[in-house]
Amino acid sequence: MNIVILAAGQGKRMNSALPKVLHPLAGKPMLGHVLDTIKILGYEVCPCLVLGHGQSAVRDFIDQRQYSVSIARQEEQKGTGHAVLQALPLLSSSETTLILYGDVPLIQAQTLESLLRLAQNGAFAILTQVRQDPTGYGRIIRNLNAEIEGIIEEKDANSEQKQIREINTGIIACATKDLKNWIQQLQPNNAQGEYYLTDIVGLAAKEGVPIRTLHPEFAFEVEGVNSRSQLAQLERVWQEHLANQLLTQGVTLIDPARIDIRGHFQCANDVTIDVGCIFEGTVEIATGVTIGPYCVIKDSKIGVQTQIKAFSHIEGSVVKEMAIIGPYARLRPGTHIDSHAHIGNFVEVKNSHIGLGSKANHLSYVGDADVGQRVNIGAGTITCNYDGVNKHRTTIEDDAFIGSDTQLVAPVTVGKGATIGAGTTLTKNAPAEKLTISRAKQLSVDWQRPQKNKSKD
């Protein structure tokens, strides 16, 4: 199969230096949605991208994400037919060609599979839609036998044709040898002075090619984006769709209108998610998890019956079952929190392993550390992991107790069952089962507190 993705448009109404197809929807550039949907189809196919405006930025995106594509360039935009013309040399004439659009991001794989089945045996398949308000779209023209005769763009339509409610989505599939023949016959005889891809439908009808239509299951599948307003509207429609999927599979959403999923979100049943939560990248949530309001979770796994309390930020981390995180906690990449551990308010953990049942409940920073089981880390504790050039690790063994306002200057080890007195700055290893403390001697001296100078009248 051949796949052509038209992505050459400038998108003037976006008012942006960023090419339109790279504007994100649900955390991913629109073009990325289309390319990922093609992967779901399962065909071994290298899509052909037709690029024009901002092609350097689009190429960078393709390279960064390592998509396998071929590139055709449309240096001067003369319409959709002209865009497809640029791709023709890259298409195999013996295959079917599917035409998609980089700014129509939410087309679903199952819809495309159905469309391709309709295009078998040399038929022409068109994805159409019936709309209450068809304004702005090309209309499907049918004869008295309900057979398609052609498509008329709105600017070229008469008043009667404008009353037609079946519209063209632009997504088609047909035999490539026919496509190449029809594209060569296009003429810019229209109000726009452009080469319309839609004109090939009339050519197909004249040749007696079977023309078959399909409606998408969801209206959002064929919504194109031409402005930031349309992009914002489509974002909310898509998020509503994702929220409904979660509700169906047994997830409790306190307010389905206030959740944002920006990536691949795998969520078990009996999970409760409060308002304002954002899930980015690849996130896995296990059964029985509760997530408080306004949490951000990115590229992380959360274990069974864990509690994520309000305003917590978790990125690149693994949290095992029945842990408690937050409120106002931050887990940075490389963090692993074992079962029954507690990470409390205003605690930051980075690139560290927190063992079974260990606790850091208040106002602490644990970075580049290996913390054993049943360790208590007091408020205000800091692992001083950075010497200005290199990072160093701290090891805290099982059953240790770290007093409040302690600095552990890495590399350093706190032995099993050791106690570190509050206010200690630890620069040497602390032996197991002993109290280690370093403080200046407490003194009380006579002293007069300075007084404010009284202002003069």
Residue-by-residue pLDDT tens, the chain, 457 positions: 999 999 998 889 999 999 999 999 999 999 999 999 999 998 888 999 999 989 999 999 999 999 999 999 998 889 999 999 999 999 999 999 999 999 999 999 999 999 999 999 999 999 999 999 999 899 999 999 999 999 999 999 999 999 999 999 999 999 999 999 999 999 998 888 999 999 999 999 999 999 999 999 999 999 999 999 999 999 999 999 999 999 999 999 999 999 999 999 999 999 999 999 999 999 999 999 999 999 999 999 999 999 999 999 999 999 999 999 999 999 999 999 999 999 999 999 999 999 999 999 999 999 999 999 999 999 999 999 999 999 999 999 999 999 999 999 999 999 999 999 999 999 999 999 999 999 888 889 998 888 888 765 5
Cα separation, 216 vs 166, whole angstroms: 12
**Closest residue by Cα to residue 376 from 438, 320, 419:** 419
Asked about 362 being catalytic, the answer comes back as: yes
The two structure tokens encoding residue 99: 């035409």
pLDDT (0 to 100) of residue 353? 98
CA neighbours closer than 13 Å in the CB half-sphere of residue 246: 30
pLDDT (0 to 100) of residue 456? 58
What residues does 242 pair with on adjacent strands? none
- 3-state SS class at 301: strand
Whole-number Cα distances in Å, 227 to 18, 19, 76, 241: 12, 12, 21, 21
Cα separation, 414 vs 431, whole angstroms: 7
Catalytic residue among 23, 53, 336, 362: 362
What residues does 262 pair with on adjacent strands? 280
What is the CA 229 to chain-centroid distance, rounded?
A: 19
Cα separation, 340 vs 92, whole angstroms: 59
Cα separation, 121 vs 414, whole angstroms: 74
Collect all residues with Cβ–Cβ distance below 8 Å to 153 and sequence separation of at least 6: 138, 190, 191, 192, 196, 198
pLDDT (0 to 100) of residue 178? 97
pLDDT (0 to 100) of residue 25? 98
Identify whether the C-beta of residue 344 lies closer than 8 Å to the C-beta of residue 362. Answer: yes
Cα separation, 296 vs 316, whole angstroms: 12
**Closest residue by Cα to residue 167 from 202, 201, 135:** 135
